[in-house]
Each structure stands twice: as structure tokens, then as C-alpha cells.
Structure 1
Amino acid sequence: MADVPTIAIASPTFLSAVLFEPYHDDHGTPRGPLRRCRASIVASSAHRPPPSWLSSGAADSSHCGQSAPGGYTVLLLVPSASRKNARGVDGGVRGRIGELNITWPAAAWSLCSCPIKCPLMLHARLSMSPQLTYTPQIPSENLHEQLHVWARQYGPVFSLILGTQTMIVLSSSKAARELLEKRSANYSERPDSYIGQTVGSGGLRLLFLPYGQDWRMIRKLSHQLLNANASKTYVPYQDLESKKMLVDLLDKPTSFTEHIRRYTASVTTSIVFGWRVPEFDDASLMRFYDGFDAYIHLAQSPSAGLLDFYPLLRRLPNFLFPAVRSAAALHVKEKALYRSNWLAAKEKAAAGTLPPCFCAALSRAQRSLGLSDDFAAYIAGTLLEAGADTTGNTLIAFVLAMLLHPEAQARAQAELDAVVGDDRLPTMDDAEKCPYTRACVKEVLRWFPTAILGAMPHATKQADEYEGWTIPKGASVVLNVWALNMDAARYAPPASTGGEEKNQHQQQGGIPAAIDPALFAPSRYLSNATWAGASVAELATHADAAVRDAWVFGAGRRICPGVHVAERSLFLGISRMLWAFDVVAPSAGATLPSPRDMVSGLVVMPKPFEAAFRVRGGGRGEVLRREWAGVREEVLGEGEQWRKVPEGMNIPRGL
């Protein structure tokens, strides 16, 4: 049984770049990066003879870059420049993977041919003046693309060695379905995150919570309040907030990003806490965003990586790691913010004045579940973190898709016009009669997955074996959603070029395989009966790996419980924007943005771009204002908050 093909990555800060050599197939041909880690250049290279393929004086460079004869090729993780996120907040210094070619004259190897560990070798190598050449292997952004390249080169299951830690990358639906879902009992842990969870969250953040009794308890409650039937009751919240978004787009179309983010944030705060976000710059929302931005800055900092990749460093004094002190201070502020929102909701629930929401059910269940106020506050707070940006970023990506693919926009609008007409807005009751618009929802989740690498890795509880490869205990397991969504075996490039309507659909193994996966083409979901008829949630949990879709919501027992709510928010947002507006370039001849320009983070979003929202004819602008004015007068009161429970809401009581 062999180790998973491995790419060695290390930190030059500690001079521990890892040597590696290729493994060979049955015919002696070099394949993949390496079977297992080798010695480090400084710490251990004096105790290891040159690998067999170097001692002969000729190295095959086809397996790992352009290493010269007598040299090693090493992948390094090095700091890159600080970046700002979409809100202009400093994103901190990020790591960058590059290739370091280290070459010695052949004479250096002949000084010591003994296979026994020999300190002389290090002296010999250094005295021969090695030549060092560093070449970046991937840009500082879009790691998912490089992982996809490696998956095509080394196979759908490979590993990265990050310091002392092993990370397994899954890039096929077959492997993801088998490991994360069929073997979910072993793949539902989370990797240790010292700054992200232990210091920065006090061990309370739901996203990092270990797979155990507490996690299962909260998961059960979340499922009861967010399952397929329960999620239908939140539609009045989504209906009102989407109408507000449309009027905002009508009045200030250039600020579409803010309007979309306010829509999804307000839906989430209403569902979780029972209060609305009337405007994007609402102080309550900004406190959440600012705190979460600061948290992500620290959780993804180089210090956080070092302390996770080299756990022994945690024993060093904290003054050596300012990020640790900052994370501890941030946790104090964050916990105070989360507690204040939780305790306010809890007080209103006791008084009977809290609108139907997650906190209402959580307050009823708190005593029986034995939850502290701190834990309950973090459960609610992290649900807000998870629900607001993911759906909002997806809708922003959809606007980008409409800008780049006007033929898809025109086809969806024609369908909506035929079903809805021009005197009312689309509703959830229209969804079954609008298959192409539903396909737009599925396609944008595939074309621009916000959780592009699964948001958070899984971890193995015990060592495992998959198709002859060994997966060690405690390994992180990354779901490369991007690679799955760009699978050419499932979405083969078309024979013809041009708009999607010119392509002739084919079938390969029952899966649509007509259109280049890089294109936004909703019709790919209409050429297969299973894909066309199923909801996003049904595809995200489908038992057949060949049909399984919507990987952006995760997999196995860690799959996002909010998939039903997200699907409805997306359908209402997409159908109503297309019904009301034409999304066009801001000016004639304007340079169109690239869908590959992304703002990286825990989730990704398109880099800021410009688009114009041109209201469509038939009096649709008047319909938008009439619809918003009516629902606003009916259910909103002081401060634009909920004055009465919208009709049709019937929240389950939970545990």
C-alpha cells in the first residue's frame, strides 16, 4: 500500500523545505510528484544521500518542474504582498507557493557516495556554491486553479505536506462521494486551528467544532429549523427583502453590490436573530462585518499557518507571535458582540416579542441542551457569518454572468415573460414553471462556487486506505470544488463555437456533456432529466457520484444545512432581477471583467466590476415601487423593523 502522491511544501522561515523525488510506475516511468517526504535541506540533508535518479548524474525534469541534473526541485510557501478584500479591508500577508531549483555540480555528489548518513555531504554541497533559482508556481491568488492543474497532472487524489501536517486534496466526484459521504464517520472531523478556533474563538466557533456530541446536538437543531419543510416558512422574509433590493437597484443601480449584500444579509439576520438590515451601512451589520474581516485576517495569517503546520511552536512565548495576542483580544470583542445580540434576542423571546427566528427556538432549547450563553451566542453568530456572504457573493457572480452571457439572460427573460407577464413579480410558486431560470441557479453555483475549496477542510479520525493509497490519521481533506465543477469528463467542450444555443447537446453516461465548463450555460442542466427535475438540495445529496452536484455546499455530515434557504433566496433574487432589469455593460465598448478575477478569502467573490441595470418596459418600475410600498406598510414599523409577523410564517419549535 502506497502513500498518496505528495507535493512537499514548507516554510523558508524555518529552512525546512522538503526534498522529494518521483515515484515510478511498473514500467519504470517517473510518475507524480513523490511517494513520501524526504529530508529537509538544512536540518537533514546532511544525513541523506542523493536519490537514485540524481546519483546517476541525470535527472528527468518531466516529473517536477525543470530541475537540472544533480539538483533538487522544492516547492516553497513564501510570503506575498498584503491584499485588500472587496470592502477595502487589509487582508494581511498571504502565502505563495513557488518552485526552488537547487543545483550542485556533479562533483559534489562524488565526494561522498556512501549511502550511510554523512555530515560531510552538507559541507560538500555548500562548499560547491549551489545555484538557487526561485520560480513562482502559482499566483498569490486563485490557489484552486493550481490545485486543479496538479489534479490533472498527478491524479484526483494527491497530498500536500505543510510543515508537519498532511493535506489530502480531492478533485473528483467519485473520490469525494466515497470518502466524505460513504465514509463520513471517519471524515467529519476538522483540522486543528490554533488561532482560528482555540485562541480566536475560545473553542466555540461552529465551523471548527470537532465532530462530537456538541456538534451533533447543534446539527440536529439546525436541521429541524432549516430543512426542506421548515425553510419554506422563511419565504416571507426573502420576499420582502428581495423587493427592497429591487427598489434599491432602481434608485441607485451603480451600487448593485451593496444592494445584493444587504438583501442576503437582512434575510440571514431575520432568520437568525429576528431583526432586519434596512440599509447596507447599518451599524449592527457593519459591526459583524468588521469583526469577521478582522477574524479572517488573523485566521489566514502566516502566523496562523505556522502554528498549525508546526504545533510545537505554540509552546513559545506569545510575544513572538503578535497574531496570537491580536486573536485573543479580538475574541473578547467578538464574544461581547455575539453575546449582546444573543441576549437581546433571548430577552425578547422570553417577553414574546421576538419574531420567528433561529434564536427563538434556541432560547427554548437552551436549558434542555445545556448550552451556555457564550456557546449559544457563537452558534447564532457563526450562522450569520455562514449565511450572509455566501449567497450574496453568488448573486454578484450571477450579475457578472449576465454581463458576459447576454444570450442566457435573454432566454431566461423570455421564459419569465411567458410565465409571469409584466404586471407582477415572480414568486416561488412560479419556480416549477421556469426550468431555465432554475437552471440559472444551478449553473451559477457551478460556474462560480463561492466556497471554491469547500470553505473549511475535513479531517480524518483514523488512517484510511483508498484505491491502494494510504491516507494518514489526522490528515486535512480539502474538497476542490473548482476541479469538480470544471470536470471535462462531465462537461466536454463543444464541437462548435459561439453562444450556447448553437451547441448541440450530447449525452455521456447520462450526464450532459455539450458545453465547455468554463462557459456559463444553464441549458446544460436541461439536457438530463435528473438534473433538470431535481432541486439544488436534491442534487447536493444525490447518492450517485455521476449525478451528484452542488458541491459548493460541502459534503457528508458537514454539508451546509442552509442549502434549502439559499436556493430560495437565489431563485427569488435571480428571477426578480431578470424580470425587472436588463444587465448591460456600463458604457458602449467598455472592457468586460473576467470571471477568473476573484477576491480570495474563506469564500470568494468577483473582484469589483461595473454593470448597468436598465429597467425593462411594460411599467415594471411602477410594479417594483408598488410591491415594496405594500409590504413595507403591512409588516414594518419603527426603524424599518418587523412590526408584525408576515403572513404564512410557522417556525418549528425546535427541540
Structure 2
Amino acid sequence: MAFSSTQYLALSVLAGVWASVYYRVRQRKRNPSRLPYPPGPKGIPILGNLLDLPREGYIYKAFRQWSRDFDSAIIHVQILGTHIVVLNTKEVADDLLDNRSSIYSDRPRMPMMNELMGFAWSVGFTPYNDWWKHSRRLFHQHFNPSAVERFRPKKLKATHAFLRRLADKPEDFRDHVRLMAGGVILDIAYGIDVQTADDPYLQRADEALHIVDKAGNPGSWLVDVLPALKYIPEWLPGAGFKRQARAWRAFVDRFMAMPFDAVKENMQRGGVVPSFTSLALRDVTAEDEAARRYQEELIKGVGATTYLAGADTTMSVIATFFLAMTMYPEVQRRAQEELDQVVGKDRLPDFTDEPSLPYTTAVMKEVLRWQQVAPFAIPHCVMTDDVYNGYFIPAGSIVIGNSWAVLHDENLFPDPFTFNPGRFLDPNISQRALAAVDHAFGFGRRLCPGRFMAMSFAWITMASTLATFAVEKARDADGKEIDPTGAFSPGIMGTPEDFPCIIKPRSREAEDLVRATA
């Protein structure tokens, strides 16, 4: 950015002054009863609670601590005139994001991503409008629990290739996970068969993910604080963000178009590879050119969203699984005993085994609960003024469901920081706790529509790995075991930090089964 930090601060302060005055006047009209905001740190004039937020560390943990400090499941902070409401229990999250989803399902305005880079096509970032409704309907049509079964062969193929790479170079397991996660989603979305990490489709998709990460990083772009800046000409000093947005938009547009166009061309030549895109294009029936073009743009957007939403998240979930197996060997042994008893040692697990493997399924659920890929999910935005439990929540407030706090609530999950799959087999576990696992994928109408595909792929990967490999703690030069710290990255993505481990086939017979999949 061409703005200096001093200029950024000065403009932010001016924006805060204007917003503070504006909202005080508006609040008197919209909140005549002078109801309070939900409790939270007091803050200071203009900046609000900007200085209260942790500069480093885990902000979702800080919000849960404030929830305890103020004895309230709902917390309010204000930053430069922007209201932020954080929901730290399943009860309040259900009350607002689910039961009042008609007004709590919008997204905050994101000028850099949605308006300058054109990312409003993404199911995750688009506002609550007809495009979102049509995209979500298309997503559900092809990725509901019954529909995702058609992609089982692709998931098995990707899992078996992952096992073979793991047998060849176990020390590179993170690279293998990345290749598997990106490859299977490109296959499901477009029918693209990715074999190596330098595949051009995979590299372009990874770069698109990198752009999304940089463009969507909160506080990185002044235009997100002062949206009117999006109208300034590119040649003006300080308008470098517009030139960057234009370049990124062109790259992401190509990322979306290349695989989509390839599928269309293959279909026209009669060489169809089953995938979401080919199946969805087959169902396009509109004769009107404008309607047909709209349907194709929806398909293109959902296909790209499938990759952008699924690649990094899948990689993080599987990496968390390896960390848990390293730290909790007794869990690994119990799952392997179940697999040996049900599946045996002369074949690999299949999807049809899942009903007979409750503990293995519990391992997958506990991975999702123990550490969320997105501890905050994507923030919601309330569309009208609302009152909840005597608190005033103004329209336009950013509303965050704290997934991490919900899934570490001692009232739902006793001893929440211990990795314990057995909790899901406890007959006394509440239905509320069982349902809470879904909040690893968001809340309300914004719950990730791809969660069924994500969970089924995570399950077959974990089951196949447990059946064939042993994951152990690494040892130092003196032969002593190295205990992983169990630390996760402090950003908006909960990814395990690097940790040492030893991965090896459970037996010669297990290795033979893996290699036979080739």
C-alpha cells in the first residue's frame, strides 16, 4: 500500500470521529429506550476497543475470556465506530444466527474483496441476496449427503494415492496432505486428475488461495475502513491498492475460467469426465441466452468456491489428525483395534464400513471439535436493528459466532482441551453437544454447504491411515520422546504448527495393501 502507517492512523482516526458522531445521532433515533449494548470492555473515545484487542495471539480465546470476565455469553466491542458482537455459547448463537437467521445471515461489507476484486461470486463472501440463494441451492443439489456418494470413487482414489506417498516418504506427510487435498477437490469440481505438486492447475489454485488470504486479512486495506476510497483514480498517490486489486482480480478470473472452460470443451467433444461442473452443466436447460449465461456463471462460481473453501481446510483437518495421533497414542491404539476387528488386515477400509466403526467416526468428530480450521468461521452482519435479552444490537453490526468457544464449552464437553473421542460414544452426551460439532463449519443459514463432503473425505482418510500406518512421537539424539507442543497458528485459520513425528507402516502386510492400490 502507498499509504504510510501515519497516514493510515490519521485517516482511521478521522473515520472514527465521523462514525462516532454519526452513530450517536442515529442511535438516539433507533434506540429511543436507550437500551445498552451487550457488555464488554469500556474502550476509549474514537478508537473504541481497538487497543483492547490482542496484537498477537488468539483473539477468539480473548473473546471467550471477556465472556467470563463480564459473565455474559454475548460480548460487544466497538472499533472506530463499527460494532462487533461476539457469541460465545451455542445457546446465544442458535438464538441469533439460527432462530433469527432472516436478519443475521448477511456478510459485512468487504470493499477490497467483493467490490474491487469481484469476489462476491463466492458462496462464503457474497451478501445475503439472490445470487447467494441460487448458489447455495446449487451447492446443496450436488453436495447433499446423498449426492456426495457419487464422488466416493474419487475420494478413495485420492486417499490411496496419499497412502502410497506416505509409504514412500513419510517425513513429507504435510506435502502429501496438501497434494491430496488440492487434488481431490480439483477432481470433484472439474474432473482434473492431479498427480504432482507442480501441476499447473494446482499451482494456480494455490496462488488464488494465497491471494484470498492476503486480500481478506482484516485491517490490511484502508479501503475496508473508508469504502469511498474505491472511487479514487488508480493514478493518484495512495491508490496502489486499486492496481493490486485489478491484478489480483485478473488472476482469479483466469483461475475460475480455465478449468471451467476446459470442462465445457471436453463436453462439446464428447469426452466427459464426471465432476460437479460437468453434471451441473448437463442440467442447464435455459433457452434464453441471458438466463443460460447466468446459470453458467453460478456453476463457475460454485466450482471455484469448492476449491477455495475446501483445500486449505481439508489440509488443516488432516494435519490436526496427525498431531492428535502423535499426542494421544492410546486413542490411536483403540481406533486400530476397532479397525482390525471390523475390517480385518487383508483389505483397506471402505465407506460401507463406517456404520460399523463408531470409534473411528468419533475420532473424526473429535478432530473437528478439538481445534477448528476457522475458529471464528466467517462473520455475519445483522441487517436490521435488533434487541436480545435487553441489549440493543444496531443494524450493520458484525456478528461473530465463536466456534472455538462453543466447541470448548465445559457445559457441553467436559475437559474440553483433552482429545477424547469417547465423549461422542457416551450415552449421557447431550443432543446439543452432538449438534455443536456442525459449528466447526459455521452457523445458521451460512453453515458450510460442503460439510458433508468434507466430513466423508476426512473419515475415509483417517480410517485408511489408521488401518495401515502407526504415528509415533519423534525421538531426540538421546532416544527420548519429543512431546509436541500442540500449538496452533494464532491467525484466523487454526492450523497446527510444525511438529516432529514418526510415521511408518503397521506391518509388512499393511504396506503391501497400500502399494497394491496402484
TM normalised by structure 2 equals 0.86
Aligned partner of 2:399 among 477, 486, 490: 477
Residue 212 of structure 2 corresponds to 295
SS in 2 for 1:166: strand
How many angstroms apart in 1 are the aligned matches of 2:58 and 2:194?
32
How many angstroms apart in 2 are the aligned matches of 1:597 and 1:530?
27
CA contact (8 A) 1:341 1:377 kept: no
Of the structure 1 ranges 352-361 and 439-448, higher mean CA displacement relative to structure 2 is found in: 352-361
CA contact (8 A) 2:488 2:494 kept: no
SS in 1 for 2:470: strand
Aligned partner of 1:342 among 231, 237, 260: 260
SS in 2 for 1:217: helix
Determine whether 1:33 maps to 2:40.
yes
SS in 2 for 1:206: coil
Alignment of 1:231-380 (within 5 A): 231-300=148-217, 302-304=219-221, 306-316=222-232, 318=234, 319-366=237-284, 368=286, 369-372=291-294, 376-380=299-303
RMSD: 2.5
Letter matched to residue 549 of structure 1: V
Aligned partner of 2:487 among 596, 620, 626: 596
CA contact (8 A) 1:174 1:546 kept: no
Deviation by residue 1:74-119 (Cα, 9 ceiling, x = unmatched):
643xxxxxxxxxxxxxxxxxxxxx45xxxxxxxxxxxxxxxxxxxx
Deviation by residue 1:192-237 (Cα, 9 ceiling, x = unmatched):
1001111122533332212122211121111111111111111111
Deviation by residue 1:537-569 (Cα, 9 ceiling, x = unmatched):
xxxxx7x58853321111211111111111111
Determine whether 1:206 maps to 2:105.
no
CA contact (8 A) 2:412 2:433 kept: no
Moved over 6 A (4+): 16-19
Greater relative CO, 1 or 2 (CA 8 Å, sep 6+): 2
CA contact (8 A) 1:303 1:321 kept: no
CA contact (8 A) 1:599 1:606 kept: no
Q: 1:546 to 1:439 in 2, by over 3 A?
A: closer
- Offset at 1:162? 2.6
SS in 2 for 1:160: strand
How many angstroms apart in 2 are the aligned matches of 1:270 and 1:238?
9
How many angstroms apart in 2 are the aligned matches of 1:578 and 1:34?
46
How many angstroms apart in 1 are the aligned matches of 2:214 and 2:176?
25
CA contact (8 A) 1:335 1:378 kept: no
- Offset at 1:483? 0.5
Residue 14 of structure 1 corresponds to 12
Deviation by residue 1:589-648 (Cα, 9 ceiling, x = unmatched):
3533323331634x331122222111112611011111x22xxxxxxxxxxxxxxxxxxx
Letter matched to residue 135 of structure 2: I
How many angstroms apart in 2 are the aligned matches of 1:545 and 1:168?
23
Deviation by residue 1:245-266 (Cα, 9 ceiling, x = unmatched):
0010000001101111222222
SS in 1 for 2:504: strand
How many angstroms apart in 2 are the aligned matches of 1:468 and 1:444?
37
Residue 520 of structure 1 corresponds to 419
CA contact (8 A) 2:56 2:490 kept: no
CA contact (8 A) 2:41 2:49 kept: no
CA contact (8 A) 2:166 2:176 kept: yes
How many angstroms apart in 2 are the aligned matches of 1:321 and 1:466?
41
Residue 359 of structure 2 corresponds to 436
The structure carrying a bigger strand percent of its residues is 1
How many angstroms apart in 1 are the aligned matches of 2:514 and 2:132?
43
CA contact (8 A) 2:267 2:278 kept: yes
Structure 2 stretches lacking a partner, 5+ long: 1-7, 21-37
- Offset at 1:269? 0.9
- Offset at 1:466? 1.2
Letter matched to residue 322 of structure 2: V
CA contact (8 A) 2:348 2:464 kept: yes
Deviation by residue 1:341-399 (Cα, 9 ceiling, x = unmatched):
11111121233322211111332345635444555433321221112221221011010
The number of residue pairs the alignment matches comes to 480
Residue 34 of structure 2 corresponds to none
Letter matched to residue 330 of structure 2: E
CA contact (8 A) 1:11 1:163 kept: no
SS in 1 for 2:208: helix
CA contact (8 A) 1:597 1:606 kept: yes
Residue 33 of structure 2 corresponds to none
Deviation by residue 1:101-152 (Cα, 9 ceiling, x = unmatched):
xxxxxxxxxxxxxxxxxxxxxxxxxxxxxxxxxxxx6352422221222222
How many angstroms apart in 2 are the aligned matches of 1:193 and 1:33?
25
Alignment of 1:47-58 (within 5 A): none
CA contact (8 A) 2:386 2:395 kept: yes
Residue 491 of structure 1 corresponds to 413
CA contact (8 A) 2:107 2:381 kept: yes
How many angstroms apart in 2 are the aligned matches of 1:413 and 1:322?
55
How many angstroms apart in 2 are the aligned matches of 1:301 and 1:178?
27
How many angstroms apart in 2 are the aligned matches of 1:477 and 1:347?
43
Of the structure 1 ranges 585-594 and 517-526, higher mean CA displacement relative to structure 2 is found in: 585-594
Residue 397 of structure 1 corresponds to 320
Deviation by residue 1:464-491 (Cα, 9 ceiling, x = unmatched):
1111111111211111111001102222
SS in 1 for 2:84: strand
| Matched-pair identity in % | 28
- Offset at 1:163? 2.1
Aligned partner of 1:621 among 498, 511, 518: 511
How many angstroms apart in 1 are the aligned matches of 2:429 and 2:348?
28
Structure 1 stretches lacking a partner, 5+ long: 1-9, 20-30, 42-73, 77-97, 100-136, 493-515, 532-541, 630-655
Deviation by residue 1:246-289 (Cα, 9 ceiling, x = unmatched):
01000000110111122222221111111122123322101110
Letter matched to residue 253 of structure 1: P
How many angstroms apart in 2 are the aligned matches of 1:163 and 1:370?
44
SS in 1 for 2:177: helix
How many angstroms apart in 1 are the aligned matches of 2:420 and 2:429?
17
Alignment of 1:190-229 (within 5 A): 190-201=107-118, 203-229=120-146
Q: 1:345 to 1:33 in 2, by over 3 A?
A: same
Deviation by residue 1:4-61 (Cα, 9 ceiling, x = unmatched):
xxxxxx9576346799xxxxxxxxxxx94357x87438xxxxxxxxxxxxxxxxxxxx
How many angstroms apart in 2 are the aligned matches of 1:313 and 1:303?
14
Residue 425 of structure 1 corresponds to 348
CA contact (8 A) 1:162 1:309 kept: no
TM normalised by structure 1 equals 0.69
The structure carrying a bigger helix percent of its residues is 2
Residue 32 of structure 2 corresponds to none
How many angstroms apart in 1 are the aligned matches of 2:255 and 2:413?
46
How many angstroms apart in 2 are the aligned matches of 1:202 and 1:390?
19
How many angstroms apart in 2 are the aligned matches of 1:555 and 1:249?
35
Residue 80 of structure 1 corresponds to none
Bigger CA radius of gyration:
1
Aligned partner of 2:381 among 447, 459, 469: 459
